[in-house]
Structure formats: C-alpha cells, structure tokens
Amino acid sequence: MLNVVNISKSYGSIPAIKEISFHIHSGEILGLLGSNGAGKTTTLSILSGLMKPDSGFVSLYEVEDPNEYKSQIGCVFDDLSPYDYLTGREYVTFMGELRGVPSNQIDLFISDLSQLLFLERKIDVLIKTYSKGMRQKIILMGALAHNPVLLIMDEPFTGLDPESIKAIKDYLKAFTHKGNSIIFSTHILEVAEKLCDRLVIIEKGNCIATGSLEEIRLQDSQMNGNTHSLEEVFHMLTHSYSNFKE
C-alpha cells in the first residue's frame, strides 16, 4: 500500500534521517518509535507531504500526483493555532468540505465521533478554549472527516486521559478493519505494544529494526527470542545502537 524507500533529510549539514525504508500494508497499524530527536517527526512530515526528502521517495498505491496523494491521507499534527477562532464543529466541517464530503455526511460523522470521544458538549465551543487533550481529539476528527486511506499521526495520545485513549484505540482498530491503514509515533510504549501490528524503530536518524514485536525479538541476538516487553526491547536496541555508534 505505502512504500517508503531510502528517504533522507538534512537540516543544513545536520542529517535528520538517513535512508529510511519500510512499508505499510492495507488494514495495518504501524508504530514509529524512537528516542527524542531520533527523526520520527521528520519522517512523518515527509509522509504527510509537508516536507520533501533530499533523496528517496514515498509511494501510496503508486500515486504520482502530489495533490492526489494528499487527498488520500489524513494527518494529526499538534498545531491548530490558525483555527482557534472556529468551533470544533466548524473546524471539522471545514476539513470535510475541503475534501468534498457532503454536508449531511459530515454532520453525521461529527455527531457520532464527538459522542465517542466525549466531545459532544464542547463541539460548538471555540477551539481556543480547548484543553490539550480536547485539541488532540478535534484534530483527529478533522483528519478522519474524509475517511482517508492512510492516517498519519504524530504523538496522538499526548495529553489524553485513559478513557479517551481507550476510545480512540477502539475506533482506530475498527478504522483499519475497513482496510484503512495507520502510522503513528508515540512515546507511550504500552499503547504501541497493544495497538500496533508492526513497528519501525529509528535511532539517530537510522532505522534499526522493523517488523512485529515477535519478529524483532527473534532478529536480535541479545534477546534470544525471549518474550521481553516492548519497553525492554526498545531500550535494548536503542542503547545497543548508541553504544555501537560511539
């Protein structure tokens, strides 16, 4: 479905990511993990079309036209400042109309998802009054308004309470059961372990592991196939890579 092939990006003389490659299947949830500054946001920015790689390419169903590519994806990044003076309903309606979604379909979507995400009482309130968690939810609703083939999310669970995290996890699982796919970054490893079908782990701009948790356990000789938690696996791999590079 989505192929990411040898993408690299530098800021001036400082490399952010180096020849990152992976793929996402239809109906799959892929977790992008890494330490702070590892290159997760840069990778997702390239996938979302916000940034061009210095080399390499991204292909979604072999779509070549950038506008067509962007019409097939939804993005969750933590910046709603231009929309602070819209209500939640106005924002989601605007995002749906941009993609040509009929107004009656948008209204039904807002009604259903705002209730699921515990936003029904705040959906007609200005976004500038929202808490961080509420902003995260309304960004997610805007990204989903046109039923994208691929949902790209950068730290989507930050600032959310456990009840909201569970509601979103359940919704995302149902979303992929329809054949849609998701890639997201998170530092909440427990969520990634329970939600993701496969993982991509990057460190210092390099991809150091890909696959299911079980496959990654089997790939690394330190683990000997033992059933370490994702947190243990992550720390083993990143510490080992950092020590090797030093």
Percent of the chain having pLDDT more than 70? Answer: 94
Q: What are the beta bridge partners of residue 55? A: 8
Distance in angstroms between the alpha carbons of the first and the last residue of the chain? 37
Q: What pTM did the predictor assign?
A: 0.92
CATH of domain 24-52+150-246: 3.40.50.300
**Residue 13: strand, helix, or coil:** coil
Domain borders along the chain are: 24-52+150-246, 75-148
**Residue 126: strand, helix, or coil:** strand
pLDDT digits (tens, 9 = 90+) for 70-99: 899 999 987 767 789 999 999 999 999 999
Beta strands 198-203 and 206-211: pairing type? Answer: antiparallel
